[in-house]
Amino acid sequence: MCTAFNRMDLQGKIVVVTGASSGLGHSFSHALINKGSIVYGLARRAEKLRELETDLGPTFRGIECDVSNENEVSSAFKKILSESAQIDVLINNAGLGRFGKLEEMSLEDWDAQMNTNLRGVFLCTKAVLEPMKEQNRQNQFGGHIINISSVAGLVGNALVSVYNATKFGLKGFSEALMKEVREDGIRVSCLYPGSIDTEFFADSGADISANPMTPADITSTLLHVLEAPDNYLISEIVMRPLRPRG
Ligand SMILES: NC(=O)c1ccc[n+]([C@@H]2O[C@H](COP(=O)([O-])OP(=O)(O)OC[C@H]3O[C@@H](n4cnc5c(N)ncnc54)[C@H](OP(=O)(O)O)[C@@H]3O)[C@@H](O)[C@H]2O)c1
Split the chain (246 residues) into runs of 10 and give each run's mean pLDDT: 79 98 98 98 98 98 98 98 96 98 98 98 98 92 96 98 98 98 98 97 87 97 96 97 92
The closest alpha carbon to 33, from 52, 7, 60, 8, belongs to 60
Nearest CA to ligand 1 atom 45: 95
- Ligand 1 pocket, mutate which of 44, 98, 219, 239 (most atoms under 8 A from CB): 44
Predicted local distance difference test score (pLDDT) of residue 1: 58
Interatomic CA distance for residues 213 and 39, integer angstroms: 24
Ligand 1 atom closest to Cα of residue 49: 40
H/E stretch holding 144 reads: strand 143-148
Predicted local distance difference test score (pLDDT) of residue 139: 80
Cross-strand bridge partners of residue 194: none
Cα torsion 71, 163, 42, 127 to 10°: value is -50
String of DSSP letters for 37-106 = -EEEEEES-HHHHHHHHHHH-TTEEEEE--TT-HHHHHHHHHHHHHHHS---EEEE-------S-GGG--
Residue 152 near residue 163, CB atoms below 8 Å: yes
Domains in the chain with CATH codes: 14-239 (3.40.50.720)
Could you read off the pLDDT of 158-213 as tens digits, one per residue? 999 999 999 999 999 999 999 999 999 999 999 999 999 999 999 888 888 899 99
Ligand 1 atom closest to Cα of residue 44: 41
